[in-house]
Amino acid sequence: MVYWGEGRMWVRKMPKRLLFTSIVLLTLLYASGMGDRYLLTVLTFSSVMAVYSSTLNFTAAYVGQVNLGHAIFFGSGGYVTAYLSSRLGLPLVLTIPLAALFSLTAGLLLGSLTLRTRGPFLLLITALSNIVIVNLVYTFSRFTGGEDGIGGLIKITGEPSLNYYIFTSYMIATITLLFLILRSRIGYAFRTIKEDETLAGSIGINVVKYKLLAFSISSILTGLLGALYAHYLGVAGPALISFELTFQALIMIILGGWGTLLGPVVGSYIVVFFSEYLRILGLYRTLLIGAATIIVILRFRKGVYGALGPRLKNVLSAI
């Protein structure tokens, strides 16, 4: 089939890809060695949002399932590891994987609820699901800690540079995994389902299975991220499951480049850096980010990476 030809082309481009990857990794290494704790904190949160946005973009842009309840996976990962470690005293080597598995279960449940829905109905169900979970967090405050959340969590490390390495490495691993999935037969099935579910079913693609698979991949990666982030903060609170996270991620995806693999990463770093370094402007900061997003939507339909990506490829091809 077509994958063998694509595979050979990918292998031929390996030296350039390795060169570009090496440059990126050296840049990240240099940033970590600067010793600026504030910069490392900003870079760490940028990597967190890059993973969050990429997993959201994965189901939305490549499978056609825009999940406004994406924070459910992130928050459940954080809350489960917090409860198991803080209340039951289990070690992190158990609580973090168990939290990821719990998020996987949440992904399968939400995926099952949305199997037959598309468009506004899908948006409504996933958004309402997020609202329901947020209300449950406040209702069962005996277990979740209510507004205060579950605090006193063991931190993986107190060293900012190590935290930066952990989350940046996880970001690179996530992007690599999504890249390999999208280049495989599974990725072909996802894109076919997005374009036409009826056609996908007529050529033998199990639509139900692949939709659930997409939600499973997205949920377990996001749940693991949420568990790690809870131990990075030392607390699991309502902010982990807030709809605001998903709204911010959508801005990052659109700004960086909807339907591109690296677009959400680029958008996440841009938005986080703008938000932090323009904090002095107060509310005007949000206004500027909103205006920049609108300009990008109107001027560059494929986002910043979508606009700059072809130029970058031309530079690499000239090497």
pLDDT tens digit sequence for 262-299: 899 999 998 998 888 777 777 777 788 778 778 877 77
Residue 215 confidence (pLDDT): 94
Number of neighbouring beta carbons within 10 Å of residue 309: 18
Q: Please give the DSSP secondary-structure letter assigned to residue 85.
A: I
Task: Provide the CATH number for the domain formed by 2-317 in this structure.
Answer: 1.10.3470
How far is residue 215's CA from residue 55's CA, in Å, rounded to a whole number?
A: 9
In this prediction, what percent of the chain has a pLDDT beyond 90?
52
How far is residue 204's CA from residue 87's CA, in Å, rounded to a whole number?
A: 48
Query: Does the pLDDT value for residue 190 go beyond 80?
Result: yes
Characterize 113-135 residue by residue with b for buried, 16 or more Cβ atoms within 10 angstroms of its Cβ, and e for exposed: bbeeeeeeebbebbeebbeebbe
Specify the pTM. 0.87
The residue that leads in pLDDT, 89 or 309, is 89
How far is residue 145's CA from residue 151's CA, in Å, rounded to a whole number?
A: 8
Residue 240 confidence (pLDDT): 95
Q: How many helices (H) and strands (E) does the chain have?
A: 15, 0
